[in-house]
Amino acid sequence: MRSPIPEYLDEVLRNCADDRAGAVADYVPELAAADPEQLAVAVSAVDGTVYEAGDSRSAFTIQSISKPFVYALALADRGCEAVLARIGVEPSGEAFNELSLEEGSARPRNPMINVGALTAHTLAGPPGAPREERFERIVAGISAFAGRRLEVDEAVCRSEWGTAHRNLAIAHMLRGYEVIEEDAPRVVADYIRQCSLLVTTRDLALMAATLANGGVQPVTGEQVVSREVVRQVLSVMTTCGMYDAAGDWVTTVGIPAKSGVSGGILGALPGQVGIGVLSPRLDRHGNSVRGVRVCERLSADMGLHLM
């Protein structure tokens, strides 16, 4: 018998297709060129069976959704204690690009905001590795979650470099407080490259399913990171993954998640499913408007809420 899930997913998308609230991110010129009508959902079971609807094979830049994965690589490569000494795990209650550090310790508050994500970027790979090697570790690592080799969108990368003043300010602040020890503009350049990796909504579902599956990519069978690393990452996603809307998200959808300015959202329910959604128009928090709606609907219909 054919699964009724594809028709169900089509219906979920149709149901929110007319919602034109929000706006496409425009602080990076190339992102402003995204088709605002794109709408996609993909759901992967922990056995790697993927159900998808809409523009689920269209590529877009991963942006902030790279953050939990690079944090995972940093934890895997340096150990939890060393990473915790550099990056906290508390929600910041501030914008994703705020220039702020914990008072006293000068640690970034968490790895999901830029100040923490730039720091996590420097902690991937072995200590002292050349930046090319570290970047390859990051591309190969994120690709392992997706189960296929991901490529950089050079146009988006160049475009973001032209408007990266805020990230440059953050990186110089990190260098000034000796949280990072490297040349600040180079770290920003590589972080922007990390954010410019191209993924599809289907990729997001499989990356999420890898987290939901205790770190084992369900299709390739590779143990990408350990179960302990996954637990740390999903915990931080739960409290910090949806920025200032974390409270709304946890009460309505109730699963660990991460959003990005391209309009993607990735959600992972341990032991059950990985979810990817895409719709470029964002709300005032920077989360995809229709993406949140799709996830609310899936959570309610499929009983995904953790609580």
Annotated binding site for substrate: 64, 114, 160, 167, 191, 243, 261
Catalytic residue among 187, 188, 229, 261: 261
Residues 197-256 that bind ligand DON (CB under 6 A): none
How far apart (Å, rounded) are the C-alpha atoms in residues 177 and 202?
40
Question: Which residue, 216 or 233, has its beta carbon nearer to ligand DON?
Answer: 233
- Assess whether 250 carries a catalytic annotation: no
Whole-angstrom distance, CA of residue 287 vs CA of residue 270: 22
Q: Which residue is nearest to ligand DON (CB)?
A: 64
Catalytic (active site) residue 67: yes
Catalytic site includes residue 105: no
Q: Which of residues 263-292 bind ligand DON (CB under 6 A)?
A: 286
Q: Which residue among 159, 243, 253, 258 is the active-site one?
A: 243
Does residue 177 carry a catalytic annotation? Answer: no
Q: How far apart are CA 109 and CA 50, in angstroms?
A: 35
Is residue 257 a contact partner of residue 247, using CB atoms and an 8 Å limit? no
Q: How many residues bind ligand DON (CB under 6 A)?
A: 12
Residues in contact with ligand DON, shown as a per-residue x/- string from 56 to 95 under the rule CB under 6 A: -------xx-------------------------------
- The radius of gyration of the chain's CA atoms, rounded to the nearest angstrom, is 18
Rounded CA separation 85/74 (Å): 12
Closest among 274, 289, 255 to 38, alpha carbons compared: 289
In the bound complex, what is the minimum distance in angstroms from residue 223's beta carbon to ligand DON?
28
The amino acid at 146: A
With CB under 6 A as the contact rule, the residue among 40, 179, 211, 261 that binds ligand DON is 261
- Footprint of ligand DON on 146-175 (CB under 6 A): 160, 167
Distance CA(142)–CA(50), nearest Å, equals 19
Rounded distance, CA 294 to CA 298, Å? Answer: 6
Task: List the one residue from 110, 201, 232, 259 that touches ligand DON (CB under 6 A).
Answer: 259
Residue 9 or 142 with smaller CB distance to ligand DON: 142
Using an 8 Å Cβ cutoff, are 244 and 285 in contact?
yes
Q: Which is nearer to ligand DON, 77 or 160 (CB)?
A: 160
243 catalytic? Reply is yes
Q: Dig out the tokens for 220 from the structure.
A: 């390739």
Contacts of residue 18, defined as CB under 8 A and 6 or more positions apart, other chains included, come to none
Rounded to an integer, what distance in angstroms lies between the CA atom of residue 186 and that of residue 118?
11
**Where in the sequence numbering do the catalytic residues fall?**
64, 67, 191, 243, 261
| Chain positions contacting ligand DON, by CB under 6 A | 63-64, 96-97, 114, 160, 167, 195, 259-261, 286
